[in-house]
Structure 1
Amino acid sequence: MPGMGKEEGLHAIFVYGSLLPGLENASLLWPFARSDPQRGSVHGRLVIADGYPALILPPPGTTSARRVRGLWTLVDRETLSRLDRLEEYFGPEEANDYERVWVRDAARDELAGWVYVWPDDRGRADALVEWWPDAQLGF
């Protein structure tokens, strides 16, 4: 999906947790996705937050050898707003649970878009996996 996110009115997003197909929040995204899912990964690590994951990105200006696998897709503004509500993202400089930030795919520079992250691990345990469904096997 080269040029993902350049289509008029659409937003590229990267999902890695409960929004993945077959998981508990998938129905909030996939019936409304405007493109087929495309596999990807971003630099960072997952922590376990009460049964769901949070992505922690490397500090600005650095990279990490660790990656988190997920899926890229395109959504319209309404779907992005629905996901903002799920992730308790209220906007920049607000008291958010997750922040929505712009990232590039770890392997393919042409893929970039929004992802929901925590700015730090909040003392939560490292998931020790790069793919959230693998972490769920331990629950």
Structure 2
Amino acid sequence: MSVTDGGRLPIFVYGTLRPGEHNHDLFLRGRTLSEQPATMRGIVLYDGPGYPYAVEEPAGVVHGELVAALPETYAELLGALDRLEEYAPGDPRNLYERVVRDVTRADGTATRAWVYVAAPAVTARLRAHGRLVPGGDWRERRRTR
């Protein structure tokens, strides 16, 4: 699914793009219709160099926000986030891959959303040598440090 085929999905953010984090103001402020608490099952978080990586893991759950972009900023915002996350479709040097997954809003309703997960090479390194973020909540992890 892509923007060109009508894939104007919300975006699930779990790290530095969450409200109160430094990339939120740089990339999302003024470009969103809504931001609401949400969770995603099937992923875990690993500590990165100042930001987290999401890695697909069946038993995991991650806390974040579901962001709906303003229609007039959607394509620009998605492109900016792709650059931030060093993602280019099909590039083996990607740090992240942008994929569509199920997300659950705080009210229990589910929706499909874009999420950036660690690319395969990064995932392998993290599984071998990485440090999990307990409870799958980057914000909580930063508060307890």
TM-score tier after normalising by the smaller chain length: 0.7 to 0.9
TM-score by length of 1: 0.80
Q: What residue number does 2:64 align with?
A: 70
Secondary structure of the corresponding residue to residue 50 of structure 1:
coil
Structure number with greater CO (CA < 8 Å, separation at least 6) is: 1
Distance verdict in 2 for CA 1:79–1:47, change over 3 Å: same
RMSD, aligned CA: 2.2
Q: For 1:1-139, what aligned pairs fall within 5 Å after superposition?
A: 10-27=8-25, 28-33=27-32, 35-43=33-41, 44-58=43-57, 63-64=58-59, 66-75=60-69, 76-106=74-104, 110-118=110-118, 119=120, 120=123, 122=125, 123-139=129-145
Please list every run of 5 or more consecutive structure 1 residues that lacks an aligned counterpart in the other structure. Answer: none
Structure 2 residues without counterparts, runs of 5 or longer: none
Structure 1 runs (4+) deviating above 2 angstroms are 8-11, 106-110
Contact 1:11 1:80 in 2 (8 A): no
Q: Please report the TM-score for the alignment, with normalisation by the length of structure 2.
A: 0.77
Aligned-residue sequence identity (percent) comes to 31
Residue 11 of structure 1: CA displacement?
A: 3.0
Distance 1:9 1:90 in 2: 17
Tell me the amino acid that sits aligned with residue 14 of structure 2.
Y
